[in-house]
Amino acid sequence: MSKFEGRKIYKGRVEGEALVTSEDISFYGGCESSTGIIVEKGHELEGKSVAGKILVFPSGKGSTVGSYVLFALKKAGLAPLAIINEEIDPVVAVGSIISEIPTIDHIDISKIKTGQKLVVDAGSGVVVIVE
């Protein structure tokens, strides 16, 4: 079991499967709000759905409309269970707060692999990999 401590962005506690990328994500134009699928051409997660996963990525990029894409995903039941970043950007921060998605940053994401089971306690700023 590995435990990491980071900075709380939005509270909440969830358990789920990690979906990890080493590339930044743009929710506006890069993630289809009606499906939760990453559609950015050439992105490491292209064709994969963020729905119901603990989404692990370095940071966000792109337009401020990305915050509302996260909100639309939440309203449609297609949002990530939680978000883990190395260094959050304002678009992802606002999106996670208005969508009430547990979110933590200041985490070394290189230690987390797709498919691992994670416990995210964003209220405490803690991520645990359950082997």
Report, as residue numbers or ranges, the catalytic residues. Answer: 63
3-state secondary structure of 32: coil
Dihedrals φ, ψ of 70, to 5°?
Answer: -60, -40
Q: Please, are residues 114 and 16 in contact by the beta-carbon 8 Å criterion?
A: no
Helical (H) or strand (E) element with 115: none
